[in-house]
Amino acid sequence: MATAPLLEVKNLRVEFPTRRGTLLALDDISFSIDPGEVLGVVGESGAGKSLTGAAIIGLLEPPGRIAAGEIRLEGRRIDNLPYEQMRAIRGRRIGAIFQDPLTSLNPLYTIGRQLTETIQTHLPVSGDEARRRAIRLLQETGIPAAEQRIDQYPHQFSGGMRQRVVIALALAAEPKLIVADEPTTALDVSIQAQIISLLKRLCKEHGAAVMLVTHDMGVIAETCDRVAVMYAGRIAEIGPVHDVINVPAHPYTVGLMGSIPAMDEDRERLAQIEGSMPRLTAIPQGCAFNPRCPQAMERCRSERPDLMQASVTRAACWLVPERHEQPEPKVMA
């Protein structure tokens, strides 16, 4: 029997009202994450990746608002909850890891105080038990001499160690879902692989699902089960990582894959996608990618495609039905 999705996002629409009119930042986003699954969300800056994560954890920056659609966690709708109810879910049911660990940690409090307060806010444990749990989490995340370092302040840790603390903080109340927004961008390349490996292992051990927001396809390939490729506030393609990387169906995904250097190929130049992501004030009619697409047809300039089945993945592209149309069966005389 198939398990019910842990997270369901249906027809999510996020708007930003301005004096010049309403800007549509996320347009009809739908996806789900199963228990224990790692879903990658990838795309250029401005695609709406981080905004999707912020909407899920209830931290949209005003005047941004969810204008339509719904978000369900374990079958319960959470996008319309009052602030205090959502605050109780954030941390307990959903953990968050952000780009810069310094924005997640209070510089005035010790690491131990921040961890124990988080644990005691969400779990019915004593102060001593909370401290023991905090030390154990620091040990799990690979911080040496955790018993001593628990009483230190964030500025006494390196960037990579601070991000380990943030991962411990996200896992402190044993949430079911972790939303990780570019968790390695602020770190050295040598540390990035360690942090991603650590995040993947710990979430597996704790039984948490992960939504991993990144612009790095290498991280996606190494870490995720499925990937959603975003463009101009919509999902362009979604499917198993192996298929999206090796047989992409959307021209934008094809362009992304072509821009990654391959170790087994001798190429003088990498392929590039001409042009840039449209601004929210100037999203073109039809498919938003059509001005940059080498295969754009007349239909692409007037009609906007929804996600369609393209062999294993699903892609929002009018080329998909053409490529996958089955020939008429021949009738034998």
- 277 lies in a domain? no
Do 43 and 156 lie in one domain? The reply is yes
Full strand arrangement of the beta sheet holding 38-42: 94-97, 177-181, 209-214, 38-42, 226-231, 234-240, 313-315, 308-310
- 123 lies in a domain? yes
Do 290 and 318 lie in one domain? The reply is yes
Do 212 and 295 lie in one domain? The reply is no
| pLDDT tens digits, 116-139 | 999 999 999 999 999 999 999 999
Average predicted confidence (pLDDT) for the chain = 90
Q: What is the pLDDT of residue 332?
A: 44
| pLDDT tens digits, 184-205 | 887 888 888 888 888 889 888 9
Do 30 and 136 lie in one domain? The reply is yes
| pLDDT tens digits, 1-26 | 567 899 999 999 999 998 988 999 99
| pLDDT tens digits, 134-173 | 999 999 999 999 999 999 999 999 989 999 999 999 999 9
Q: What is the pLDDT of residue 215?
A: 86
What percent of the chain has a predicted confidence (pLDDT) above 90? 71
Q: What is the pLDDT of residue 323?
A: 59
Structure tokens at 332: 């034998």
Q: What is the pLDDT of residue 236?
A: 97
Q: What is the pLDDT of residue 167?
A: 93
Q: How far is residue 113's CA from residue 11's CA, in Å, rounded to a whole number? A: 40
User: Which CATH number fits the domain that encloses residue 184?
Assistant: 3.40.50.300
pTM: 0.91
Q: Which residue is listed with tokens 């981080």?
A: 50
Range of the domain at 253: 247-261+284-325
Q: What mean pLDDT do residues 54-68 have?
A: 94
Q: How far is residue 208's CA from residue 224's CA, in Å, rounded to a whole number? A: 13
Q: CA-CA-CA-CA torsion for 221, 223, 224, 230, nearest 10 degrees?
A: -60
| pLDDT tens digits, 44-60 | 888 999 999 999 999 99
Do 317 and 214 lie in one domain? The reply is no
Do 180 and 252 lie in one domain? The reply is no
The yes-or-no verdict on residue 326 having pLDDT over 90 is no
Do 114 and 218 lie in one domain? The reply is yes
Q: Residue 241's closest CA among 43, 50, 40?
A: 40
Do 96 and 197 lie in one domain? The reply is yes
